[in-house]
Structure 1
Amino acid sequence: MAITDKIYVKNHRQLSSALDTNIPKGAFKGATLDILFNGGEALERLDETTRERVLDFAQDFMDCGCKNAPYCGHPERKFIQYLLELRAQGLSPSAIVDVMTDDYMVYAYEGDILSFLDDGVRTLEAMEELARVDGNEEMQRRARETKRELSG
């Protein structure tokens, strides 16, 4: 299961009530993406702070210009990049959850973020070893450096 399947909308019941529609708990579920991507008038019903965070989320992760947006995969990839950038800044899984909640009113469980980061480290270890076997010193170096950033 992808990490984006484990990202949840904070206070989704209150948002559902304010928007007078059913919003799934998952931030990257189809109905949630539809509301964020096409929300327009409905978002005006939200208080200013909530509306700003929802619009920031839509702008930062869903603004790709693809014909199939928001179902093109770019929102998920952009969010994963955001998580990796937070980790590269030295944030712990707990701090990453706090920042994403403050920035976008979404959250994840700390253990899910930790598992995501651990899976990334394991993948980079495999890449490093494959690059070593293949004699690709540049790729080996890049995998090792990225692994070090993820590991903290």
Structure 2
Amino acid sequence: MAITDKIYVKNHRQLSSQLETNIPKGAFKGATLDLLFQGDGLEKLDEATRERVLDFTEDFLDCGCDTNPYCGCPERKFMRYLLELREQGLGPDAIVDVMSDDYMVYAYSGDVLSFLDQSVRTLEAVEELADVEGDDEMERRARQKKESLSG
């Protein structure tokens, strides 16, 4: 299961009430993405909430794909965001706090930790495959990225 399947809308019930519609708890569920992408009813949200929702939309749903927001770009952008937070030295608890402050979404720290661990393991595999293939540049890049995620 991808980390984006474990990202949830903070204050889900309050948001549903303000929008006067039911939305899934998952931030990357189809109905949630539809609502954000189309912007229907966002004027009903209080100003602070609307700003965070619009930030989320601009940062993750903005791409030129024909199938946007179902093209996979929002999920990839969000995973990149999590990895960048880790590269800044933040641990899982701090990453959850920042994503909550930035976008009103949250995850469980254990899920973030598992995602980060899986990312490091993937980079180790890339590094080893690059070594086998003799691709020194890719091996170096994978090693550097792995080290920046490992802390």
**Aligned pairs for 1:104-143 within 5 A:** 104-143=103-142
**TM-score under structure 1 normalisation?**
0.96
The Cα shift of 1:61 comes to 0.4
In the TM superposition, what whole-angstrom CA distance separates every residue of 1:58-92 from its partner, at most 9, and x where no partner exists? Answer: 01100113221111111111111111111111111
* Gaps in structure 1 of 5+ consecutive residues: none
Structure 1 stretches of 4+ moved >4 Å = none
Provide the aligned length of Structure 1 versus Structure 2: 151
The Cα shift of 1:96 comes to 0.6
* Gaps in structure 2 of 5+ consecutive residues: none
The Cα shift of 1:29 comes to 0.1
Identity %: 77
The residue number in structure 2 matching 1:39 is 39
What amino acid is the match of 1:85?
E
Q: Distance in 2 between matches of 1:66 and 1:133?
A: 35
The residue number in structure 1 matching 2:67 is 68
**TM-score under structure 2 normalisation?**
0.97
The residue number in structure 2 matching 1:2 is 2
3-state secondary structure, aligned to 2:51: helix
The residue number in structure 2 matching 1:84 is 83
What is the root-mean-square deviation in Å for CA atoms of aligned residues? 0.8
What amino acid is the match of 1:69?
N
